[in-house]
Amino acid sequence: MKKIVLLVIIFLSSISFFSCEDIDDTPVEPMLVIKFKFNPTQTRLNNLGQGSFVPFGHAAQTPIFNTISSHYIEFAQDANTQLGAGSIVYHGQETTVGGDNAIDFSQAKIVAQDEVFLEIPLKELAIGNYEWMRVSLSYQNFQIKIRKPSSSLEYDGTLESFVGFNTYIGTHSIGNAFFQVDANKPQGYWAFALNDFPYSSSGQAPAGATTVPNPLAATSPIPLSSCVVTGKFDAPLTITGLEKKNVTVTLSLSTNKSFEWIDTNANGKFDPSQGETVVDMGLRGLIPSFTK
């Protein structure tokens, strides 16, 4: 009897051993993970990727970012890689419901800082060395300060900025303020609502006024109004195809005085009730980094 019990114990132990061995040997596929970071002190750049100051007659704020969305993400091998010729890892949904082809805002993925925007198998990023990243930004949600009509005080409000080449928007909302659009909106459409008061408005920045930093403008230009921000890795990202661990890419965006308006009264305050209008809501630079 003791011999039978001993054999049963040995048999069960063998099953347990092989089961654990099978689990431990199961390969885990490495992933490409992409996140965003908002940096208020990162250098403020112009369209050519050069340092930029707020022009005379304008004023600007460094907004507090809540969320963001992108429509297109590409890894570029070098400064001569043309837009679309790199390794494209993400392209958002588009629609012709509003007429011309446009980003479908209803299907946009919107994330906060450090939240995962994209997670795909690393094998979808082609083997090679990558010096640059190109990211087409499409939507921003941030906090700004505004002078309320008939008041000398500043109030906090939330602004939604649509900076993609063209965006079809059904209905969107900021708190209890609803905006029924049901149309395509070109780059520069915005909507605003005060956080604690029933006041809201919307408008359109001038065509071509949105800053889109591209340090490769001389060798690899981007289409007008595409909002494809370009940035360089400190050291090239090398993908061999033999990676065993995840590669996480962080896209650091400069929010340094990225909300800009025409300052008609030269007080440095945003006074839309006095006819001041939004000029520029473009992010002011991209610095990508990675961990392996």
Within a domain: 43? yes
Residue 82: pLDDT band with limits 50, 70, 90: very high
Residue 216 lies in a domain: yes
Cβ density class 123-139: b for 16+ within 10 Å, e for less:
eebeeeebbbbbbbbbb
Q: Is the pLDDT of residue 5 over 60?
A: no
Is there a domain that residue 166 lies in? yes
With 0-12 CB in 10 A as exposed, 13-18 as middle and 19+ as buried, what is 56? exposed
DSSP string, 94-107: EE-TTSS-EEEGGG
Q: Please give the pLDDT value at position 283.
A: 97
pLDDT digits (tens, 9 = 90+) for 260-272: 999 999 999 999 8
pLDDT band of 15, cuts 50, 70, 90 = very low
Each residue of 34-71: pLDDT tens digit?
Answer: 999 999 999 999 999 999 999 999 999 999 999 999 99
DSSP-derived letter for residue 26 is: S
| Structure token digits, residue 85 | 């010729």
The band of 25, judged by pLDDT with boundaries at 50, 70 and 90, is low
Split into its structural domains, the chain has a count of: 1
The verdict on residue 1 lying in a domain is no
- Read off the pLDDT band of 26 (50, 70, 90): low
Binned at pLDDT 50, 70 and 90, residue 177 comes out as very high
2 — pLDDT class (breaks 50, 70, 90): very low
The answer to whether residue 135 is domain-embedded is yes
* SS3 (DSSP) at 43: coil
Question: What's the gap between Cα 26 and its chain centre?
Answer: 34
What Rg value do the Cα atoms of the chain yield, rounded?
A: 24
Give the domain extent around 102.
30-291
> What are 229's strand-pairing partners?
135
**How does strand 286-291 pair with strand 94-95?**
unpaired
pLDDT tens per residue, range 179-220:
999 999 999 999 999 998 888 999 999 999 999 999 999 999
Confidence band, pLDDT 50/70/90 cuts, at residue 149: low
Please state the separation of Cα 238 from the chain's center in Å: 23
Among 84, 61, 58, smallest CA distance to 72 is for 84
Q: Model confidence over 87-129: pLDDT tens digits?
A: 999 999 999 999 999 999 999 999 999 999 999 999 999 999 9
Residue 124 lies in a domain: yes
Residue 24 lies in a domain: no
Residue 59 lies in a domain: yes
Report CA-CA distances (Å) from 163 to 107, 150, 187: 16, 30, 5
- Residue-wise pLDDT tens digits, 243-292: 999 999 999 999 999 999 999 999 999 998 888 999 999 999 999 999 99
- 85-105 burial, b for 16+ CB within 10 Å, e for fewer? ebbbbbebebeeebeeebbbb
